[in-house]
Structure 1
Amino acid sequence: MWWDSIFCEGRPDFILAFKLRALKDKLKEWTKTSHGNLAMQKQSMLAKLAELEEIQDQRALTEDETLSKAELFVDFENIAKCEEIA
């Protein structure tokens, strides 16, 4: 486990603080890489939503398109929440 791979000597409270700082750095790294660039994800979702809006201006959306639009809104909200946390 990653937590156990960090070696530090000292009092238990010092070890915990040291490992928490290391965890913070790892989480920042994870957010930028594995989790992806949130700004790019938001931009992509906004482009897809704009595309669906253009289609909706021309005709009624199909059931699949309506579902896709709703999922994009939910995903966009989740990314916005993640940005607030980060």
Structure 2
Amino acid sequence: MRRRPNPWILIPAVIAGLFGGGLGWVVNDVACRSDVGTGCAARSLLWGGLGFLLGLVGMAVIMVLVSRSIAEWREYQERRPEDPRS
């Protein structure tokens, strides 16, 4: 029996995405301390968006793997015969 995906996985993924986006924005903003007309804001937005996506996808993959391993462990615990030594 397959379980439905857990919607709570999205919360840490979005938080990690926000941290990644902020990091991308700040790193580019610090590196781009020049005149206003050079397109620094657009590049900061680009790198911030890329950082958000990478953080979001990376944390989502980790959370899905953790969720699956916990579900597999619980299923194993339910099917395991009682240990007479315990």
TM-score (norm 1): 0.37
Could you say which structure has the greater relative contact order, defined with CA pairs below 8 angstroms and 6 or more residues apart?
Answer: 2
TM-score (norm 2): 0.37
